[in-house]
A and B are shown apart, each in its own frame.
Chain A
Amino acid sequence: MSAYTALTTAGYRAQVRDKATLFFTFAFPLLFLVVFGLIFSGKDVEQSGRPYISYIAPGVMSWGVANAAVFGIAFTLMQWRRDDLLRLVRLTPTPLTTVLASRYVLALGVGVAQAAVFVGVAMLPGFGLAVDGRWPLLLPGLVLGITAFLAIGVIVGTYANTPEAVAAIANCLMVPMAFLSGSFLPMDMMPGWLRSVSLVLPLRYLNDAASGALTGRGPLTDIWTGWAALLGFAVLFGAIGLKTFRWSNRT
């Protein structure tokens, strides 16, 4: 058995056996989608004349995927280091790149499954999301977004030494970012200065790329810009993550 297969299989089992994480990964964002979707059912956003669901569906999806990527890797890294499992891996001939590749593939799998579920639910009657013909462009954006947020999660998991610290740091990061990037409330409803602030947030670009691809809103350049920005964030946070990575909590 190859090290990659072994790690990916163990990671998959750990993922599907953890009911609490499954709930937070899949059901919790759906809850937002359902609540916002039903509150604003059939309504349009005044500023743009477009239905609410065309904002909320890609927004909640982006936030859910980003959240799962950050929390998943941050918890795993903190736990592996705390339990000395990283040391065990360090003492085998398995290269760090194999470990990263396995975690990356698991995170991509989770993210794509989430996106399929969230978009599927949003398309149900009652929510009524109309998916645009250029929806396949969602995939590259998702992959780049997951990569960027995975890198952020690595940094969180490196600095946090307890589950409480992971939850505190990740929530402080992700909840305000979700509101400021238009995941729950359409950006078009926000004042201009807040829209400018959102330009430094990676979730803003995932939202733009996702809603551009799913709903066909805005020019294609919005999508390209989103991809480029996510790639930039991925490189930046990836470099910081590799630079600060620790094998052990002990000095």
Chain B
Amino acid sequence: MTTHSTPPPDTTAITAITVENVRKRYGDRDAVDGVSLAVRRGEFFGLLGPNGAGKTTLVEIMEGLRQADSGTVRVLGQSPWPRNTALLPRMGVQTQSSAFFVRQTAREHLATVAGLYRHDRAAADRTLASVGLTEQRDVYVENLSGGQRQRLAIASALVHDPELIFLDEPTAALDPQARRDLWEVLRALKSEGRTIVYTTHHLDEAEALCDRVAILVGGRIAALDSPHQLVTAAGAPSRLLLPAGRIPVEDADAIPGVDRATVQGGSLVLETAAPGKVLRAVDALTGLDGVMTRTATLEDVYLELTGAAGEPAAHPHSTES
């Protein structure tokens, strides 16, 4: 492959969504305050931020459900506003897990949604299988469990085979096993080359799934990069956990490289920017049996960014109202 024979880059071939300087104001409050970002084709893009940070408004502007006050939005090379029926079949949007046709079975509901996209019943059956609802297909939507409703709502976004998928806290109501199962569904969608834009409050999940994340605070992008880069750039300290009492706190504080030593929940916690050096010192002092290391996570970065803006960051797992 040569690099010289490639044609001039066609941005619509590599970019799924372009948002430039988008603003949306409700009354005297800027819900979205000058956001610019680009989502690449095939990318798994996470949108994080505390409640009220403007995530939902921003996503709804991308979906074409709301009009931005100013700025430009291009989705798959087209404008999503006003309602663009040429664009709509190419994107799938997970709605709330109450958005079901009443008194229908899971299969009937999904076949109806498929019909709205002019797809057949077989598409509904395939999609039910892909989210693991084949066994529940003849259960009325009203009688599905919370997790099953969630999966049916996701299936409603996938039934027409869209290129671009918007998911809104898709794992919120799922138990740990169902959550991991859904991760596999999402990874499979990504491996098929689909673009996924998703909001979540589960930062471990964003770290595990997303190519890049944008952290939105007060209607602005506070950070946008791969989870790994964000964690590295933040320079948050690593933590070494030792059983309490193994080393006196004062001695631990004196180990070269240890920034802070505290006792928390039965563990002696050493914060350090040089974990390798400190580990060697601890090894020499007491050996490494029972020593745990905890590196900085996306959650640390998130809490620092959202906390600094004066937002209440104490409930990162609460769901959006």
**Residue interface bits B79-109, CB-to-A below 8 A is 1, else 0:** 0000101101101010110111111100011
CB contacts (< 8 Å) of A79 on chain B: these are 102
- Which of B64, B86, B101, B114 is packed against the most chain A CB atoms within 10 Å? B101
A10 to B106 CA separation, bound complex (whole angstroms):
12
Which residues of chain B are near A85, meaning CB under 8 Å?
95, 99-101
| Contact, CB under 8 Å: A7 / B116 | yes
B88: A residues at CB distance < 8 A: 91-93
Minimum CB–CB distance from A175 to chain B (whole Å) comes to 26
Q: Mark B148-166, 1 if CB is under 8 A from A, else 0.
A: 0000000010001000000
Interface positions of A from 97 to 136, Cβ below 8 Å from B: none
Least CB separation from B27: chain A residue: A251
Instruction: Count B-side interface residues using an 8 Å CB cutoff.
Output: 35
Most chain A CB atoms below 10 A, which of B26, B108, B121: B108
Nearest B residue to A91, CB-CB = B93
Closest to A83 in B: B98
A162 at the binding interface (Cβ < 8 Å): no
Q: Does B120 contact A (CB under 8 A)?
A: yes
Q: A93-B89, A95-B85 are in contact. Are A87 and B113 (CB under 8 A)?
A: no
**Contact in complex: A1, B120 (CB < 8 Å):** yes
In angstroms, Cα B21 to Cα A39, docked, is 73
Chain B 48-77 interface mask (CB, 8 Å, partner A; 1/0): 000000000000000111000000000000
Check if B111 is an interface residue, CB within 8 A of chain A: yes
Inside 8 A of A46's CB, which chain B residues have their CB?
none
Whether B108 contacts A13 by the Cβ 8 Å rule is yes
Q: How large is the interface on A (under 10, 10 to 19, 20 to 34, 35 or more residues)?
A: 20 to 34
Which residues of chain B come closer than 8 Å to A91, judged between CB atoms? 63-65, 88, 91, 93, 95
Our pick among A1, A7, A251 for the contact of B26 (Cβ within 8 Å) is A251
Indicate whether A239 reaches chain B with its CB closer than 8 angstroms.
Answer: no
Asked if B117 contacts A87 (CB within 8 A), the reply is no
What is the distance, in angstroms, from B123's C-beta to the closest C-beta of chain A?
Answer: 10
Q: Which residues of the other chain, B, contact A94 by a CB distance below 8 angstroms?
A: 116-117
Q: Do residues A88 and B113 form an inter-chain contact, with CB atoms below 8 A? A: yes
B114: which of A6, A88, A95, A247 is its contact (CB, 8 Å)? Answer: A6
**A90 lies within 8 A of chain B by Cβ:** yes
- Name 26 A/B residue pairs within 8 A (Cβ), A-sorted: A1-B115, A1-B118, A1-B119, A1-B121, A6-B114, A7-B112, A9-B112, A10-B104, A13-B103, A14-B103, A83-B99, A83-B102, A84-B98, A85-B100, A88-B93, A88-B113, A88-B116, A90-B83, A91-B63, A91-B65, A91-B88, A91-B93, A91-B95, A92-B113, A92-B160, A93-B116
3 A-B pairs with least C-beta separation: A6-B115, A92-B116, A84-B99
